[in-house]
Amino acid sequence: MANVLAPPRPKSYDDTFFKPVSLWLTTTDHKLIGIMYMTTGMLAFVLGGILALVMRIQLAQPNLKVIDAETYNQLLSAHGTTMIFFFVTIFMTGIANYFVPLMIGARDMAFPRVNLFGFWLIPISIAIYYTGFFTGGALDAGWTGYPPLTTKQFNPGLGVDLWAASIILWCVSGIMASVNFLTTIVALRAPGMGFSRLPLFVWAQICTSLLLLAVGAPLAAALFLLELDRQAGTSFFVSNGGRPVLFQHLFWFFGHPEVYVLILPGFGMVSEIIPVFARKPIFGYTSMVGALFSIVFLSMAVWGHHMLTVGMNIYVETWFMVMTMLIAIPTGIKFFNWIATAWGGSIDFQIPMKYVFGFLATFLIGGITGVYLSSVPVNTQVHQSYYVVAHFHYVMVGGSVFTLLAGTQYWFPKITGRMLNKTLGEWSFWLFFIGFNGTFLVMHTLGLEGMPRRIYSYPGGFGEEGWGATNMFITVFSFVIAASVLVFIYNLVVSWKYGEPAGDDPWGGNTLEWATTSPPPPYNFEKVPVVRSFMPLRDMREDGLRPSLASPE
Amino acid sequence: MRGRLWFRRAFATLPVLVVLVLFCSGTALAAEGSGSGLDPIVPNGKSPNGHHIWQLYLLVSIPALFIFLLVEGLLITVLIKFRRKKLPKGYKPPQWHGHRGLEVLWTVIPALILIVIGSASFITLQNDYTAQASNNPDIDIAVTGHQYGWKFKYPEGFTVDSEGLTPTPMVIPTSKLVRLKLNSTDVIHGFWVPDLTGKTDLVPGYENVTWVKVSQPGEWRGECTELCGTGHYTMQLRVKAVSQSDYAAFVQKSLADQAKSKSSPSPRAPGAAPAAPAGSPPASPSAGPTTR
């Protein structure tokens, strides 16, 4: 039976990457812009990963001098900035750019040219940041860049200014993308797709955009004030006259919601992937949406938990502690709803589903250590130590990166029309799972023993005799992660060219993107799809409008 | 084909083996005690406030371990029980859309757990972290951080300088309540001696306060915990607790050393502020800064 919603396979984007640059500069197609976002993100991932490997070599043994301390500080700042701003956020935006219009049955984003402009700010922003390495040193005060260390007096170099300029541009791009997503989702939904029928990934994108819209501007403002301090001689954050801690408040008012900007799209992907591979509808659709919104609101009331050692009033600290603990509740609801969705299902453990289970198993640890950290007295013991490094890598890699890889595995057939190689997929998953846990699990114990984060070296004696062995263990496993990423990228490149054809709907999906061809034509759908529930493709299958459910094994 | 199956099975058990090896080596090394790099819980602080953190950590660990085992157990059950390959052909999964009772259950139970953890944390916070906790100190030491080292100004009027990877310890007497007034002359630093108690930042422009009361003699390591520049990693810290008589001897020796260096011309004498007199009245709790 012919596909009712899309014409026979149209001209595709298969060879887009080898087309002239003019196409990348002029296209307004959300799908190509999405691919450009994802490619930029993946390149940033590799770059940030290389920085991390150099740091791991430096830390492998006590008293090593592989690089000098100043370079080390620049690398740790660039690693944080690259991974948070230029990799995960950008890659997630790419996936959303590609799939939000498809999932709601739209032809494109609401503002296609703003979309393109917003994208191009990102490579410019990255270039500005990395210029620092060639102009006498990039930012060396950590990705958080706390003054007074970043004020002119203690950091006269150009690196801080380039960082501020780069991140302000990034904020502008983020705000543009957020406005665009919100308008698209509100205005361009297909007939019948009420808010109660939106796919959960789209709901997650609404929440992400709301968050970024709310907190992007304060970050830009904080960096602007910092620049005024540096260039115009004002004293917002300098220690005589200003308050250094004010910057921390502004920064974390952005910084904590940013964690959810990174993770909410991942939650959305998981909510899409589990039902497809378990052949069950999502458990508790309404409470899933409710949990998303509780997270949005709570995440803007917890920033102080990054600052529990700066000496705030204990009642203020208690407020932040209680709010932080409350976030565990909606996150717990989502967790148990996902498990209930899988429970009793007929689960096909394809590679995307393996990544989802990897996410559930590891993100849980990040969530639990988050409760330890929320308790103020415990926080004063483990804050700024490797325990925190382990915690946020379990949240951001165990959470965001696992889901993002799951999403890539899940949607690659739609984007390219070809399946990823399964054997390579197995290798990249298991190497990543083992490498990730090997790297970050023992970081908890190092932190509990008193190893602070962001140190260039450690003496290795007087109560730290075993740190060398543990750090060597971590360094070895960090290279396992690197291997898995190489396998993953090799798989992407090879399968894009030579993978077996995927067909329109290789997994038996529930949402509208699977109704069109793979890859979709420039106009997405030939006919405007009509939606009767939150699983429109399942409705079409039940009505006999879909050819088959066959998995391409 | 047979060989391949064997390989696949071995491959599937690999993660389990890795976890087992990790766990066993971890426990073995942790048994050797502090310094192994693998201690599974926070140090049991030698100071009462650090000890309370340790107790709180154990309290949080009970529900944390329970939830960890429960959820990982559920995930493994799903992995084993609901695999499509293992299910009878033509199995139709039940099309549940939700269950109000269950959803209320896994909202309310975590909330109850968090109320317990939150209340216990709040009690510790009120006991150890307010100004009252160190209102009547036996000794007040002013700790000043700078790039990259520490100055410990004692009430008797002398100052100990500490810099570098093998730092001069801050000497304190045992069984005395020692209040530490923390400040910085340049950027933000962090004061942390893991075996005593939690950390407190040294923020330029205002004074933070923390306290220790150590019952046994010993020397412990610590470090600056807030990235403060290129030499951040060299900003090591030692705290040494000695008996009361040894402390008195230390004070005498330091005063004598200071008198000696004052008689010889010293370039940095004008910058040094006069020391606070011993037994100066403590700051009033309402006006005082938040205590750490």
pLDDT tens for residues B160-185? Answer: 999 999 999 999 999 999 999 999 99
Mark whether B154 and B51 lie in a shared domain: no
Q: Closest residue of A to B83, CA-based?
A: A347
As to burial, measured by CB atoms within 10 angstroms (0-12 exposed, 13-18 middle, 19+ buried), residue A286 is exposed
Range with the poorest average pLDDT among A356-360, A454-458, B68-72, B270-274: B270-274
Q: Do B152 and B248 reside in the same domain of the chain?
A: yes
One of 1.20.210.10, 3.40.50.150, 2.102.10.10, 1.10.3720.10 is the CATH number of A28-542, namely 1.20.210.10
Whether residues A452 and B225 touch (CB distance < 8 A) is answered with yes
Query: How many contacts does A have with B, using Cβ atoms within 8 A?
Result: 316
Check CB contact under 8 Å for B71 and A384. no
Give yes or no: residues B161 and B251 share one domain. Answer: yes
**Cis peptide bond upstream of A522, omega within 30:** no
Chain B residues in contact with A279 (beta carbon < 8 A): 93
Question: Do B112 and B194 belong together in one domain?
Answer: no
Residues B116, B191, single domain; the answer is no
Which residue out of A143, A149, A456, A472 would a mutagenesis test of the B interface target, given it has the greatest number of B Cβ atoms within 10 Å? A149
Distance from CA of B261 to the nearest CA of A (A): 31
- Distance, CA of A85 to CA of A98 (rounded, Å): 19
Q: Which pLDDT score, from 0 to 100, does residue A458 have?
A: 94
* pLDDT, position A411: 97
Instruction: Domain count for chain B, please give it.
Output: 2
The length of chain B, given as a count of residues: 292
Q: What pLDDT was estimated at residue B21? A: 65
For residue A273, give every residue at least 6 positions away whose Cβ sits within 8 Å of its Cβ, in sequence order, or none: A352, A353, A356, A406, A407, A410
Q: Among candidates B182, B156, B165, which has minimal Cα distance to B257?
A: B156
- Report the residue of chain A nearest B32, measured CA to CA: A466
Instruction: Mark yes or no for CB contact B11/A430 under 8 Å.
Output: yes
What's the rounded Cα separation, in Å, for the pair A9 and A503?
Answer: 10
The kind and range of the H/E element at A487 are helix A467-498
Does residue B268 fall inside a structural domain?
A: no
Both tokens assigned to A199:
């796919």
Summarize pLDDT for A408-434 with one digit per residue, the tens. 999 999 999 999 999 999 999 999 999
Average pLDDT of chain B to the nearest whole number = 84
Say yes or no to pLDDT of B133 above 60. yes
Question: Does B277 reside within a domain?
Answer: no
Q: Kindly list the distances between the CA atom of residue A129 and the CA atoms of A79, A190, A286, B187, in Å, as whole numbers in the listed order.
A: 12, 40, 42, 24
| B118 and B188 housed in the same domain | no
User: Residue A15's CB: how many other CB atoms inside 10 A?
Assistant: 9
**Structure confidence by residue, pLDDT tens digits, B53-66:** 999 999 999 999 99
Residue B7 has φ and ψ, to the nearest 5°, of -65, -40
Do residues B121 and B155 both lie within one domain?
Answer: no
The reply to whether B153 and B119 lie within a common domain is no
Long-range contacts of residues B69-78, Cβ cutoff 8 Å, at least 24 apart: B71/A335, B71/A339, B71/A360, B71/A364, B72/A361, B72/A364, B74/A339, B74/A343, B75/A339, B75/A357, B75/A360, B75/A361, B78/A339, B78/A342, B78/A343, B78/A347
Q: Is residue B290 part of a domain?
A: no
- Between A135 and B19, where is the model more confident? A135
- Tell me if B22 and A70 make a contact (CB, 8 A cut-off): no
pLDDT digit string (tens) for B202-252?
Answer: 999 889 999 999 999 999 999 999 999 999 999 999 999 999 999 999 999
The per-residue pLDDT for B8 is 61
Domain coordinates of chain A in residue numbers? 28-542
Q: What is the pLDDT of residue B162?
A: 95
The enclosing domain of B174 has a CATH number of 2.60.40.420
User: Which of B107, B114, B193, B238 is best to mutate for the A interface (most A CBs within 10 A)?
Assistant: B114
> In chain B, what residues touch A70 (CB-CB under 8 Å)?
230
Is there a single domain that holds both residue B121 and residue B171? no
B274 domain-assigned: no
How close A318 comes to chain B (CA, Å)? 7
Q: Give the pLDDT confidence score for residue B18 in this predicted structure.
A: 61
- Contact between B192 and A384 using a beta-carbon 8 Å cutoff: yes
> Which parts of chain A register pLDDT below 50?
1-2, 7-12, 14, 547-553
Task: State whether A463 and B35 contact (CB < 8 Å).
Answer: yes
Domain that holds residue B122: 8-33+40-85+103-128
- The burial class, CB within 10 Å (0-12 / 13-18 / 19+), for A65 is exposed
Indicate whether B79 and B168 sit together in one domain. Answer: no
Record: contact B38-A466, CB cut-off 8 A: yes
Asked whether residue B149 falls in the same domain as residue B233, the answer is: yes
Q: List Cα–Cα distances, A15 to A410, A464, A473, A493, in angstroms.
A: 21, 54, 42, 12
What is the rounded average pLDDT of the residues B89-106?
Answer: 90
Q: What pLDDT shows up at residue B278?
A: 40
Is residue B189 located within the same domain as residue B233?
yes
Cβ within 8 Å, pair A466-B64:
no
**What is the pLDDT confidence band of residue B131, given thresholds at 50, 70 and 90?**
confident
